[in-house]
Each structure stands twice: as C-alpha cells, then as structure tokens.
Amino acid sequence: MGKSLRVLIADPWADDGSRWVRGLEQRGFQLIWQQVKSVTEFTVALSQQGWDFVLVHSTSSDDLIGEILTQVRESGIAVPVVVVSGNPTENVTVSTTSADAPSGKTGTELASIVSAVEYHPHYAARVIQSSEPVWEREANLSALIENTEDAIWSIDPQYRVVVFNSAFQQQFYTVYGVALSQGMNLVDTLPAELRDVWTGYYDRALRGDRFSIELHYDVPGVPADIEVSFSPIVAKDGSADVAQPQIAGVAVFGRNISDRKRAEAATLAAKDQFQAVLDAVPGCVSWFSADLKYLGINRYLASTFNVSPENFIGKELGFMASSPGFSEFVEEFITSSLKESSVEIAARVAGELRSYLVVAQKYAQNQAAVVVGIDITDRLEVEEALRESQERYALAVQGANDGLWDWNLRTDAIYFSPRWKEMLGYADGEIGNSPTEWFSRVHPEELDWLQAQLAAHLDGRSPHFEIEHRMRHKDDTYRWMLSRGLAVRDRDQKAYRMAGSQTDITKRKRAEEQLLHDALHDGLTGLSNRVLFLDRLGQAIERSKRQPGYQFAVLFLDLDRFKVVNDSLGHVVGDQLLVAIARRLEPCIKFGDTFARLGEDEFTILIEDIKDVSDATRLADRIHLELQSPFNLNGQDVFTTASIGIALNDAKYDRPEDVLRNADTAMYRAKALGRARHELFDTAMHDRAVALLQLETDLRRAIAVNDLGRSCQEFHMRYQPIVNLRTGKVSGFESLIRWKHPTRGWVSPGSFIPVAEETGLIVPLGQWILKEACHQLKQWQHHFPDHLPLSVSVNLSTRQFAQPDLFEQVSQILCQTDLAKGDLKLNLKLEITESAIMENPEAATELLKKLKTLGVQLMIDDFGTGYSSLSYLQRFPFDVVKIDQSFVSRLGTDGDSEEIVRAIVTLAHNLGMEVVAEGVETAEHRDQLQALNAEYGQGYFFAKPLAADQVASFLSNTPHWM
Ligand code: C2E
Ligand code: CA
Ligand code: CA
C-alpha cells in the first residue's frame, strides 16, 4: 500500500473532486480528501485538519486562487498549495513539474507527485509556493527548469519560443548551429526537411491534443533516444468554456530515454536469444520461477502438447497433469539445494505413454530453473528389442547346442566358438582363427560346393548361406554338419563380416541314408530293389548312347520250382534260400555291377562295360555252376536251379523297362526249353511277345463283342463225336471252341486259351461256352430221340476250375437251359485236367463232390501227361478217364505206350471209371483200344470237330468205322 495523503481540493467547477483524487490514487497514494467550492468553505476546512497540501484548479478565477493564498498565509498553516491546470474531465492528476519542498515533512509527498507527473507531462503546470512571493516562485521555477537534464520549452501559437532551457538548446539546436533566444521561430530555425514534421507536432498540440513522440538521433553529443511530450497551454484569461479552452501555446518536454531504450533493447535481445536457443532444442524445454510457475516454454514443447507458449507463462507447475512424475521431479529439484539433476519419467502425449529423460539446471542465482525433456521412447524400445534379441539368440544357441563362427572379412580372422571346436573333437586352444581351420576339414567332395555357396552369399546372389557337408573329426571320421551363416554388409552392400552356426546332423543324415537305402533295397536280401535297378539300368542306357562301344547286359534269373520249396518247406526256409542264393552269387558280380532282387524268386544282374555277349553267358554259366551244390537250410539240403534270360543293349533301348521285359521273355524261353539253362533274347522272342500282346488285345475285343450276343460274333463251337468202341454208336460230343479272327482267320484254342487263362478272360468266355454247350445238348436230346442218350463234355481250364463260384455258375446254367429237369438222364460232362486239380487237391475234391450232386459227370482230361501218379486217381470222384492222345498216337510203334494205356484202363476199371481214348486217327488205333478194353474212342478216324448243323447229317449217316 502507498503512502497516505490528506488533500484539500478547491474546485468550484468540478462536481466531484474525486476525479483529481483517482489520478493520485493510481499513483499509489491513499487519499483523505475534501472538496470545497468557495473561500468560506475553504477557510473552515483549512482549519479543521492537518492537510498535506491544497489543490486548486487553475481554471478557478484569480480571485479564488488569490483568496485561497491569502487565507493560507493568514492562517499561518504551513501547507503547500498546488495549482493545477488542465482539463479536469481527464482522469489524470495534474501536478507541478517540479517542486521545492517548502519545509518539513511534506517534501517527499510533493516529490512523489512530481514523479507521478513525469509520466504524464502533457499538462502544463505551475507550482505556487504559498509561502513565497510570485517573483520568487518564478525564479525558482526558472532555476528548476534550467537545472533539469530534460529539455523543456514552450511556444506560442506562432511557434515562437517562450520558455526554454539549455538542455533544449543543447539537444535540439546546437547540432544545427543555432543559438536560441526568446521569441525565435522554432520551426524556421530547423533544417528544411524537419520543418513540416515539427510544424505538424506543434499544430497538433495547438489543436488541444496531448501526445508524445519518440525521436531517435545518431548524432554525437545528443541523446540517441528522446521522448518528446507536447501539451497545449490553456489560456488563463479565456472564457470559462471548459469544453473549448483557448490554447495559448504548447509546452514541450523532451526526455532523454536512451538508457531506457538501450536497456529495453538489450533485454529484448537477450530474451529473444534465450527463446531462440531454446526453440532450437529438439526436446521439451520449460523454465520455472522459484515459486514453481512457468516462465516460459520452447516451441518444441508447445507443439508437443499442442498449446501456445503464452498459455504457459505464469501457470502453476503441473497444471497440464500430463505427467505427475515430471511435476514431482521439478518441485523436488527447485526446492532442493541441487544445481542440476536428471531423471527418466513417463508422460502421456496425445494419449500415448512415452518415456522422457529430463534434465534440470538452475540459473539466475538459483531463482529459476530450466528443465529439458528428451523423448527416449524409441531409443528405449530399440534397446529393449536389442536386448531381447540378444537373449533370444543366446538361448537359441545354448538350446541348439550349435557351434558358432564369426568371420571378420577385413582381417580374414575367424572366431570359432569352443563348442564349434568341441564338435570336431578339439579343445579350445587346438584350433586357431584362420578360415583354413574350417575349409581344410571339409570333406573334399563337398569343399568346392561349400566355397561356391559362400561366395554366392557374399556376392549377394543368395539370401543366406546354408549347406550340409561333412567335416573331418579329430578321430579322422567324418561327421555331417549343417553350416549356416549370414553376412553383415556395409552401406555399399559389401560384406565385411559373416557369422553363422554349425549343427551336427550326423544322426539325421544316417536316418536319411537308411531311409534312402530302404527305399532302394530289398529288405530280405539287402540287394538293390527294382527301383534302384531300373535307375541304374536307365543310366547305363544313357551312357551307351553317349559312349560308342559301351555295352551292357541284363541277366534275368528265376528259380525253377521255388514254389515247391515254399510249399513243402515253408516260407521261412524259402526266404532263407533266397538270402543264401544272394550271398552265394554276390562274389560272382563284379564291383560296380548291380545285383537286384525284383521280388519273389526273381533276380536281375546288370553287367556294364562288357566286351561282347560272352561276358554275359560266362556269368550265366558261373551262376548255374554255383547253384549245383546244395544249400543247407535248417540242417536240410535244398537243391535249386535257375532259368536265366539275357538281354544285351544292342537293341537300342530307350526305357529300362524294355530291357528288363526282354530279359524276362528270354528267361521264359529258357524255362520253356527245359529250365536250368539260359537263353539270349532275340527278336523272334520279341515278336512272339508282341504277337501275344496283340492276341490279348484282340481277345478282349472279341469277348466284348461276343458278350453283346450279336450275330457277328467271332466265337463258334465245334463238337467232336465220342464213339462207343463196342457198339460203334455215337455216345456224345466234346465241345471245342473256335475263334474266327477278323483278319487272322481261325485261331487255334491252343494259342488263345492260355492267353485267356492268363488274363482272366477265360471266365466270361467259359460261361458262354458252358451255356452254348448246354443249349446244344438240350436241342439234340429233343431232335435225336433215336440216338439217346447223347452227352456233351465241356472243357474247364485251370483258372475256370479255381473260380470260387464255379458250382453256382454251373447249377445256374443247368437251370436256365432246363437241363436239370425231366426224366432224361442229365448228360453234361466236365473235362478237367490233372494240373487243375493238383493246384489244390483238397479244395478240388470238395468241389468235385459238390458238382456231382448236380448230376454232372466228371472226366479227367489229358491223363498221363501230368506229374501225378496213377494212385492219385482214387482220391478224386471222377467218372471217366480220358487218355491223352500222345499215348494213343504211339500205339503200335511204342510198347511202353501200350503198357501205360493198359495200366490206365485197368486202374480206371478197378476204380469203377470208364475210359475215353483221345486222338484215334487210324483203324489200328481203334483195334488196339478195343483190344485194351477202352470203352470209348475220339479222333479224326471217327470225325473231326463238327459245326452244330453238321451233327444231324453225321448222325443219320451209316457209320463207316465199324
Ligand atoms: P483237348 O481238351 O485235349 O481237346 C482235344 C484236342 O484234340 C482238340 O484240339 C481236338 O480238335 C484235337 N483232336 C481231336 N481228334 C484228334 C485227332 O485224331 N488227332 C489230333 N492230332 N488231334 C485231335 P483243339 O480243338 O485244337 O483244342 C485244343 C485244346 O484247347 C483242347 O485240348 C482244350 O484243352 C482246349 N480247348 C478247346 N476248346 C476249349 C473250350 O471250349 N474250353 C476250354 N477250357 N478249353 C478248350
Ligand atoms: Ca478235352
Ligand atoms: Ca485232351
């Protein structure tokens, strides 16, 4: 609070003296005041209080001012009287420009008023010291004006100087070489270029305007900055019109403000610099006063929080509430005795939590602190990620049990981890840091590849280095390793470092090799299997094309009667035999040649780089020789032979399968020619094989056509009469199939039945034959009542007989053709060969018995050609024995045949069976068979196989054979 003043205001004009008072109060004074409007009031008021001064408005009449002064003088009270001029409607206190304190205590208060006036020197003012005469007052005033450093002057309306001091002369005119004197026109004395400006200033003031201007001079001896205040001087004598006062002149006050300007500029510059520097900091900068208020912030902080810097100034620390940690830190720091401090804190910026490194520093005698916050979120994240990946890598390496290497490509030094060395059987100190330590241990077969891979990666041609290779262990064995690595590159993509790992994959490699071996080898004998054999054979074919003179051969070996060994001694012994054969033959095979087991009892041998065919036949001879001595299996001597087919590469093969097929064909030939021998494949064999294939194709087509039941069918039945040798009568017919091939003409059943057998086509064909024969029999029974009973015998091949549903088929056909019905004797006979029965004698017996329940008669065909003994006959429920035509044809020329026929007939009769002799071609045959007591005869002597429509005329003609 300011000083208290007691003021007595004499102003008859203003309604309210408070307008004077307000100005003083604005200067920081506390006023106790009273307003009087007349001399009487004044006299009373003056005596009542101890006034600090009396304020008289200058527009009051001279009488009033004179009376007031008289009253003050007469009262003997030492109180200053201040006469103020100016427009009382303005809210400004008017006071003296200067004042001599008359005496005592009030001097300071007057000085305060003066200082207040100095800020508003627009008003002319006079101080009248009540205790002094007027001339004295004026002398004092002049001295006062003269002694002040400020320029003071006044002009009349014609710009003539009325009052001026030497400061004015010095500061405004000395530079122009003008010596002022009273009454001089101030505008005219100025240099021409300044006249208009100054005229303007003076005129403005003469119009009643109070204003200030600032002048700046760059002239030595003259203050650089001057503030000039212009105040109109209101005429004392003029009319009492307050609103339109008469202007008598202008009072001008020039004040040297150079120091203030300089200080201001310096402060401004310092401030600007400070702000500019801090604005350049790429972090949040704020500065605080000791009472924890923001003094400012930099632009970065402002933009970070999206606020304007002005909004921060004067605000309490923590008003943003964005980071409690920050406020706590700053508060603690400012209140501490520390000069500087730092901390990492978290702050929420635009909804995102970020990390800051905050550094604080005190300045201005510890009365302020500047705080800088740097966003280190990204750095922390990077550090964190780096640490994590390092940990992860360390863990991975530990877990993987891998060896590591790190290669400085600039120095060519390579670091091998202890584990890397240990994997190769070395202690840490035993392996140096040169790349040769690595490369010299790589298996020679993989070294080039490894170095090529390395180069490819270093050159940037492959994204990473990865290779499986063998490494020599300290114990001189090789271990499989997986080496992987990655290059580190500089800005030009040039690798300067490469690091990687080494993993022992020996176990995996072994497993892989085992799998590969298993895939390519026969599990039983350990020989190559078909896949590997064909692969090698394929390579040999390729080589023979590239390399003239290169020849190879394939031997296809099949054991003779291996099935007998398997069936009689069991599969285990069979397997043992196969293994034993493999082991015995292995030494015969040259290194580099391929010995394989294709399956069952089939072996193949690929011999390469042979001179001629004799190399192959010599090997075959050697094999036959090796197999001559028995194999001892479980204490039992087992003998075996092999049939071998040989194929040479002279046929210009493209596919290995073709070579194999031809060797197989030759092997079949060897078998057909009596087994235990070898045959060389020739083109005739091939042609035969091809023809067979063609036959098969045609047969399929023919059967398909036949199935449609069209009239153009290619199959036809023939019927060969069977004659009763005692009566000469026809007892029945054997049905024989014929195939009329559309291009080849008649094809004999001897050639196509085996093919139909092998392909299974015999099954549908056989059913058709049975149906046809039954149908025919039915018709004959109907048409030839004189010749009854007539029979038809139908051939059943091995494959047909092996059908599980044969019984059902036969009974169904019998039903369909009505043969099973009626009182006529059922005269269907089935011809079955010995070999069909011997395939599975037990099952055959059962089937034969069942077939007999249908009333069908059973004949054993081609008897005597198979390997069963005569005693077998009694085991099976046959009705008729057909003696093979080979015995009949030799009758009369060969005594043995006659004996065999006699033995068969006798045995058959003993077992209650009848006998049919096949192949009766001559009267001699007929006679001998009659003599041998055979019941029936069949052959060209009686008739060739007949078409169905020939049968009627045949039956009606007188037989010529009896
Ligand atoms: P197979 O069952 O031994 O038939 C007898 C063969 O001897 C027939 O030959 C017949 O024509 C022939 N033949 C008859 N009399 C004489 C003769 O006096 N002298 C000579 N040298 N041969 C004579 P075919 O018809 O060529 O049949 C051959 C083989 O084909 C038959 O031998 C039989 O095993 C089979 N076969 C024929 N037809 C059929 C059939 O319909 N089904 C089945 N599964 N096999 C049949
Ligand atoms: Ca037959
Ligand atoms: Ca026969």
**Which ligand has the minimum distance to the alpha carbon of residue 921?**
1
Largest Cα separation within the chain, whole Å, is: 208
**Which ligand has the minimum distance to the alpha carbon of residue 946?**
1
Give, in degrees to the nearest 5, the angle at Cα 58 between 53 and 60.
Answer: 105
Distance 777 CA to ligand 3 centre (A): 20
Would you place residue 20 in the very low, low, confident or very high pLDDT band (cuts 50, 70, 90)?
low
Distance 919 CA to ligand 1 centre (A): 10
Residue 91 has a pLDDT of 30
Q: Is 748 in the pocket of ligand 1 (CB under 6 A)?
A: yes
Distance 847 CA to ligand 2 centre (A): 19
Residue 816 has a pLDDT of 83
Q: Which long-range contacts (CB under 8 A, 24 or more apart) does 161-164 make?
A: 161/186, 162/249, 163/251
Scan for tokens 């001597």, then name that residue.
637
- What average pLDDT does range 327-337 have in this prediction? 90
Distance 194 CA to ligand 1 centre (A): 155
* Residue predicted with more confidence, 509 or 7: 509
Distance 753 CA to ligand 3 centre (A): 14
Q: Is 861 in the pocket of ligand 1 (CB under 6 A)?
A: yes
Q: Is 553 in the pocket of ligand 1 (CB under 6 A)?
A: no
Mind listing the pLDDT tens digit for each residue in 783-807? Answer: 887 777 889 999 999 889 988 899 9
**Which ligand has the minimum distance to the alpha carbon of residue 793?**
2
Q: Is 792 in the pocket of ligand 1 (CB under 6 A)?
A: no
Q: Encoding tokens for residue 371?
A: 């705080």
Quick one: three-class SS letters along 510-538? HHHHHHHHHHHECCCCCCECHHHHHHHHH
Distance 699 CA to ligand 1 centre (A): 19
In this model, does residue 132 exceed pLDDT 60? no
In this model, does residue 737 exceed pLDDT 70? yes
Residue 917 has a pLDDT of 96
Q: How far apart are CA 920 and CA 932, in angstroms?
A: 14
* CB burial of residue 131 (10 Å; 0-12, 13-18, 19+): middle
Q: Are 495 and 409 in contact (CB under 8 A)?
A: yes
Mind listing the pLDDT tens digit for each residue in 178-188? Answer: 888 888 899 98
Distance 102 CA to ligand 3 centre (A): 176
Q: How far apart are CA 936 and CA 921, in angstroms?
A: 13
Q: Is 797 in the pocket of ligand 1 (CB under 6 A)?
A: yes
Q: Is 940 in the pocket of ligand 1 (CB under 6 A)?
A: yes
Residue 783 has a pLDDT of 85
Q: Encoding tokens for residue 376?
A: 């280190």
Distance 233 CA to ligand 3 centre (A): 168
Residue 163 has a pLDDT of 84
Atom of ligand 1 lying closest to residue 940 CA: 18
Distance 833 CA to ligand 3 centre (A): 8
Residue type, position 346, single letter: A
- What average pLDDT does range 167-175 have in this prediction? 85
Residue nearest to atom 25 of ligand 1 (CA): 736
Q: Is 916 in the pocket of ligand 1 (CB under 6 A)?
A: no
Residue nearest to atom 4 of ligand 1 (CA): 736
In this model, does residue 915 exceed pLDDT 80? yes
Closest CA to 554 of 585, 594, 586: 594
Q: Is 598 in the pocket of ligand 1 (CB under 6 A)?
A: no
Q: Cβ atoms within 10 A of the Cβ of 895, count? A: 10
Distance 795 CA to ligand 1 centre (A): 9
SS3 374: strand
Mind listing the pLDDT tens digit for each residue in 611-623? Answer: 988 999 999 999 9
Would you place residue 90 in the very low, low, confident or very high pLDDT band (cuts 50, 70, 90)?
very low
Q: Are 355 and 346 in contact (CB under 8 A)?
A: yes
* CB burial of residue 212 (10 Å; 0-12, 13-18, 19+): middle
Distance 733 CA to ligand 1 centre (A): 12
Q: Are 918 and 723 in contact (CB under 8 A)?
A: no
Q: Is 750 in the pocket of ligand 1 (CB under 6 A)?
A: yes
Q: How far apart are the two ends of the chain, measured CA to CA in Å?
A: 175
Rg of the Cα trace of the chain? 71
Residue nearest to atom 43 of ligand 1 (CA): 795
Residue nearest to atom 15 of ligand 1 (CA): 939
Residue type, position 943, single letter: A
Atom of ligand 1 lying closest to residue 769 CA: 41
* CB burial of residue 928 (10 Å; 0-12, 13-18, 19+): buried
- What average pLDDT does range 74-101 have in this prediction? 50
Scan for tokens 């990655």, then name that residue.
486
Would you place residue 522 in the very low, low, confident or very high pLDDT band (cuts 50, 70, 90)?
very high
- What average pLDDT does range 837-852 have in this prediction? 87
Of 67-81, 255-269, 292-306, 404-418, the least confident: 67-81
SS3 582: helix
Atom of ligand 1 lying closest to residue 735 CA: 41
Residue nearest to atom 19 of ligand 1 (CA): 919
- What average pLDDT does range 861-865 have in this prediction? 85
Q: Encoding tokens for residue 808?
A: 């059902």
Residue 56 has a pLDDT of 76
Of 56-65, 482-491, 565-574, 674-683, the least confident: 56-65
Q: What is the pTM of this model?
A: 0.43
Residue 79 has a pLDDT of 73
Q: Is 864 in the pocket of ligand 1 (CB under 6 A)?
A: no
Of 47-51, 354-358, 897-901, the least confident: 47-51
* Residue predicted with more confidence, 94 or 763: 763
Residue 94 has a pLDDT of 35
Backbone φ/ψ region at 402: left (φ over 0), alpha (ψ -120 to 50), beta: beta
Distance 159 CA to ligand 1 centre (A): 166
- What average pLDDT does range 864-882 have in this prediction? 80
In this model, does residue 839 exceed pLDDT 70? yes
Residue 99 has a pLDDT of 33
Helical H segments across 601-655, by residue range: 613-626
Residue nearest to atom 7 of ligand 1 (CA): 919
Atom of ligand 1 lying closest to residue 762 CA: 44
Residue 778 has a pLDDT of 86
Q: Cβ atoms within 10 A of the Cβ of 37, count? A: 17
Q: Are 888 and 918 in contact (CB under 8 A)?
A: yes
Residue 169 has a pLDDT of 87
Of 215-219, 464-468, 478-482, 559-563, the least confident: 215-219
Q: How far apart are CA 774 and CA 764, in angstroms?
A: 16
Would you place residue 659 in the very low, low, confident or very high pLDDT band (cuts 50, 70, 90)?
very high
In this model, does residue 275 exceed pLDDT 50? yes
Of 116-125, 378-387, 622-631, the least confident: 116-125
Tell me the backbone φ, ψ of residue 720, rounded to 5 degrees. Answer: -105, 125
Atom of ligand 1 lying closest to residue 718 CA: 25
Give the pairing type, strands 946-947 and 225-234: unpaired
Distance 677 CA to ligand 1 centre (A): 31
Residue 201 has a pLDDT of 93
SS3 160: strand
Residue 103 has a pLDDT of 33
Of 117-121, 468-472, 478-482, 567-571, the least confident: 117-121
Q: Is 737 in the pocket of ligand 1 (CB under 6 A)?
A: yes
**Which ligand has the minimum distance to the alpha carbon of residue 945?**
1
Residue 647 has a pLDDT of 94
SS3 763: helix
Mutate to test the pocket of ligand 1, among 795, 916, 925 (most ligand atoms within 8 A of CB): 795
Atom of ligand 1 lying closest to residue 938 CA: 15
Give, in degrees to the nearest 5, the angle at Cα 322 between 316 and 324.
Answer: 75
Q: Is the peptide bond before 789 cis (omega within 30 degrees of 0)?
A: yes
- What average pLDDT does range 949-962 have in this prediction? 80
**Which ligand has the minimum distance to the alpha carbon of residue 757?**
1
Distance 710 CA to ligand 2 centre (A): 27
What does pLDDT average to over the chain?
83
Q: Is 795 in the pocket of ligand 1 (CB under 6 A)?
A: yes
Mutate to test the pocket of ligand 1, among 716, 736, 748 (most ligand atoms within 8 A of CB): 736
Distance 750 CA to ligand 2 centre (A): 11
Q: How far apart are CA 110 and CA 128, in angstroms?
A: 12
Residue nearest to atom 27 of ligand 1 (CA): 749
- What average pLDDT does range 915-939 have in this prediction? 94
Distance 739 CA to ligand 2 centre (A): 17
Q: Is 769 in the pocket of ligand 1 (CB under 6 A)?
A: yes
Q: How far apart are CA 712 and CA 578, in angstroms?
A: 52
* Residue predicted with more confidence, 716 or 867: 716
Q: Are 665 and 685 in contact (CB under 8 A)?
A: yes
Strands (E), 174-278: 211-216, 225-234, 247-256
Residue nearest to atom 23 of ligand 1 (CA): 919
Residue nearest to atom 12 of ligand 1 (CA): 919
Q: Is 921 in the pocket of ligand 1 (CB under 6 A)?
A: yes
Distance 960 CA to ligand 2 centre (A): 24
Q: Please count the CA atoms within 13 angstroms of the CA of 425 that sit on its side-chain side.
A: 10
